[in-house]
Structure 1
Amino acid sequence: MSFCNPIPIRLKEARKKAKLSQKALGVRIGVDESSASPRMNQYEKGKHTPDIGTLKALADELSVPLSYFFCEDDISAELAVNLNKLSLSDKQKVLEITARLIDESKKG
């Protein structure tokens, strides 16, 4: 079974949704203008993986949670983004709802 690194896919999706070029995104997170586009391209192609600090800067700039980059499927990624927008009390409600759903699925 092969594993596909989700970071390049998620990075490209979030960047396109934010309507930013690779160069603009790189510059916004502090990469030198001359290397911003090539570096973002390498991240999106999976040739290099950003360190966790860079990934956090990218997440902040793209308004997604850090966990978004590690989601293995689109639904989980969308859930991560939506959860990030909720208040702490609403996140607690979602946690309770999902716990009930899991419990119900085990019963039946």
Structure 2
Amino acid sequence: MVPESGRIPNLIGQRIRSRREMLGWSQEKLGVLIGIDESSSRARISRYELGNHEPPLDTARNIARALDVPLAYLYCEEKDLSALLLELGKLSAKRRTTLISAWMEDLDKSP
């Protein structure tokens, strides 16, 4: 069941954990990379992943940078769209702009 806020519980934690594991990183490594003291980094990242705490926006932004994903990826509810965000995030800004412009042109041409 989706809560009143309309957000899926622990979505951000699931995204963080999935990407961190994809990279083969420990919770401690991720925490240290975003500036959390080494002695508490594992516990703090664990709390985010388990959904005990949601990271503040600035922390989520730092986590996204460390994981090399767009911030929107952490908040995206749809699995296919989150995969698309990961792929778009790998492109250069120029390539993304070109791709989006071409897509928009195609939409304008469709009946």
Both proteins in one fold, TM over 0.5:
yes
- Matching of residues 47-86 of structure 1 within 5 Å: 47-86=52-91
What do residues 8-47 of structure 1 show as CA deviations (whole Å, max 9, x unaligned)?
A: 1100011101111111111121111121111111000111
Question: What are the ranges of 5 or more consecutive residues in structure 2 without an aligned counterpart?
Answer: none
Q: TM-score when scaled to structure 1?
A: 0.82
What is the total number of aligned residue pairs between the two structures?
105
Question: What are the ranges of 5 or more consecutive residues in structure 1 without an aligned counterpart?
Answer: none
Q: TM-score when scaled to structure 2?
A: 0.81
Shift >6 Å, 4+ stretches: none
CA distance in 1, matches of 2:92, 2:28: 33
User: What's the offset of the Cα at 1:87?
Assistant: 2.8
- Tell me which residue corresponds to 1:30: 35
Aligned equivalent of 2:8, options 4, 15, 21: 4
CA distance in 1, matches of 2:102, 2:83: 17
CA distance in 2, matches of 1:103, 1:48: 46
